[in-house]
Amino acid sequence: DEARTALQWVLWTLLLAVPFVIMMLPLAVRIPNVVLIICSTLALATSGLTFFRGAYHALKNLMASMDVLVVLGLSSAYLYSLLVVFLPDTFQDQHHFFEVVVLLILFVRLGKYMEARAKGQAGRALESLAALQADRARIISGDTEREIPASDVQVGDLIRVRPGEKIPVDGEIVEGETAVDESIVTGEAIPVEKSPGDTVTGATMNTVGLLVIRATRVGEETVLSQIVRLVETAQADKAPIQRFADAVANVFVPVVVSIALITFLTWYFALDATLSFALTAAMAVLVIACPCALGLATPTAILVGSGIGLQRGILFKRASVLERIAGLQTLLLDKTGTLTSGRPKVTDVLALHGYDEQEVLRLATGVEQGSTHPLAKAVTQEAQRRQIEGYKFTEVREEGGRGISGRLNDALLQVGSVRLMAAASINMTPIQDAVQVLQDQGKTIVYVARNQDIIGLIGLADTVRADAAAAIRRLRSLGLRLVMITGDHERAARAVAQAVGVDEVEADVLPQEKSDLVERYQTKGEMVGMVGDGINDAPALARADIGIAIGSGADIARETGDIILVRNQLLDVERAILLGRATLRKIKQNLFWAFFYNILGIPVAAGVLYPVLGVLLKPEWAGLAMAFSSVSVVTNALFLKRAGSKLDCDQ
């Protein structure tokens, strides 16, 4: 709603600016002064009123903010223009500045609209996160089962959850075994085996087994609701950056007003000049001192910089992000889906008892090809990649959370976890060394047994992205502190960190702890960035000074992040930082040009050269100086495209 209102103000001001745009075009059309006065007055009284309110509150607190600077420029340009129009004899051959009034209001209003839009996106992010919760739940009462809204579940209720369904609330398993896809909470791709007594989290997915769970946390107490609150709190607490322009305005405004007042008093009382001469000199000081280019200095550089980023698949969602990312000191990187592919993949096939890798895969994929379990899918995909066709099994039976078994002629084949092997009383001693090697590498193991003998081990892992190591090397060269964070266990985390070149690792981290981790680094006075892709990363992305979301990740991650890597390339993190640094340099240069002509012209406008050279800076010349500073700012910002060319060279 706020964004819609802000857009309406932009369109209204744009309508009022039409006569002034026509004036600027090389057309033989003269707009009557009465039309210009009406349009500028309406702009001040409607769209410009917010700046007067802001200036009032700033002055009330003895501060001179950007609003005060804008109001000073608007008021001086408007009042002087009225004097030129209504007192033509006193202000002969002078030019009015009604167009400055309307166009300055239009530009600042456009900035407010962009800010409101960003807030609206943050609101939609929370809505999409809340929508992940299951809508319905099956309550067990004695021998009967009834379906109710998930919001009506009470603590202690028994709930039946079928394979492929979302778990409606946080609870404890009473009956059944399964593997639960907890990627929504932990971000880890490999499902977690669950049995009676284990806890489950609402909104996670029951993959294979039929479960009965007892509700332990409902409503606002569930983990998902806590994540929503964390995101909401983090977004609300993110403090706005202190604008350099505000700091300058706090000093600049009182100095300029004092100079204008001294100029008038000196000429009129001390030097006995005419009222029109003294007033013209004072107004010239105010007009030239109003750095209209200051309104262009930051937005123009950001507009060009964000355009360059978008052409290269880097979307900066908020205007200030390009400015802030240049100061990044610490970068936290999620493991699963960011540094890794986010999907389990077969990395090792170990054959035993005279079997070869091809035969182990043929047997395993034959029994697993009907399973929906992610590990089973990874095994069958590896067989397809190697062009291995599985055998046809009979009596195939899946045991939730353990594995799957089937018969081939007179042989019983069992494929699954160590729990399945233990239940079948299969001797594991001869393979302990091989198992230990795979576990030390942080890999998940699928055991393949024929009758009572282990004939093979299949190692699976979430593989490292192809560009991860190069991206880490480049980020390190920028002087950043790099930390990998993950909900995975320490051993698997260290294996990935070593592969990509990250020294610092935070493992076994829950979603709320990721957010706390960001805050911990921030309390050290560091500017912290977070790179993530999952729902579980959303609180940390919101809490970080700069949240960077992988484009192929979850909707909530993209909505919460400040930057979206549309091409899903980790190398684009470095490009975003380099572009931010180049943009910040241009902003600083633009701020210099925004003031340069104006400050240079203030003494001339005040009449310092008049007694010696007879030169007095007329208000129309002051306006020309403002135009020059604006042109300088825009031209300088366009040089940012050179930075874009360098980014292309680095690809």
- Residues identified as active-site: 334
Q: Kindly write down the DSSP assignment for every residue of 170-191, as one continuous string.
A: EEEEEE--EEEE-HHHH--SSP
- The answer to whether 598 and 289 have CB atoms below 8 angstroms apart is yes
E-strand spans in 417-507?
A: 444-450, 453-464, 481-485, 504-506
**Residue carrying the six token digits 């026509």:** 22
Residue 591 makes CB contacts below 8 A (sequence gap 6+) with: 244, 245, 248, 294, 297, 298
State the Cα–Cα distance between residues 257 and 167, nearest whole angstrom.
Answer: 66
DSSP 336: I
Helix, strand, or coil here: 243? coil
Can you say whether the dihedral through the CA atoms of 326, 527, 650, 562 is positive or negative?
A: negative
Cα distances from 239 to residues 122, 242, 322, 537, in angstroms, run: 15, 9, 16, 20
Q: What count of Cα atoms within 13 Å lies in the side-chain half-sphere of residue 498?
A: 9
- Alpha-carbon gap, residue 91 to 85, rounded angstroms: 8
Return d(Cα 37, Cα 345) in angstroms, integer: 71
d(CA 8, CA 113): 9
Q: Which of 524, 525, 576 is nearest to 549 (CA)?
A: 576
Give the C-alpha separation, 29 to 13, whole Å.
Answer: 21
Rounded Cα–Cα distance for residues 38 and 44 (Å): 10
Give the H/E segment covering residue 217: strand 211-217
CA atoms within 13 A on the CB side of 636: 25
Nearest to 452 by CA among 414, 403, 409, 499: 414
Q: Phi, psi at residue 313, to the nearest 5°?
A: 80, 25
What tokens does 536 get?
Answer: 């579980």
Q: Give one word for 343, left, alpha or beta, with left for phi > 0 and alpha for psi -120 to 50.
A: beta
Among all chains, which residue has been given the structure tokens 């001294």? 262
Backbone angles phi, psi at 485, to 5 degrees: -120, 145
Pairwise CA distance, residues 189 & 338, whole Å? 12
Eight-class DSSP state of 429: G
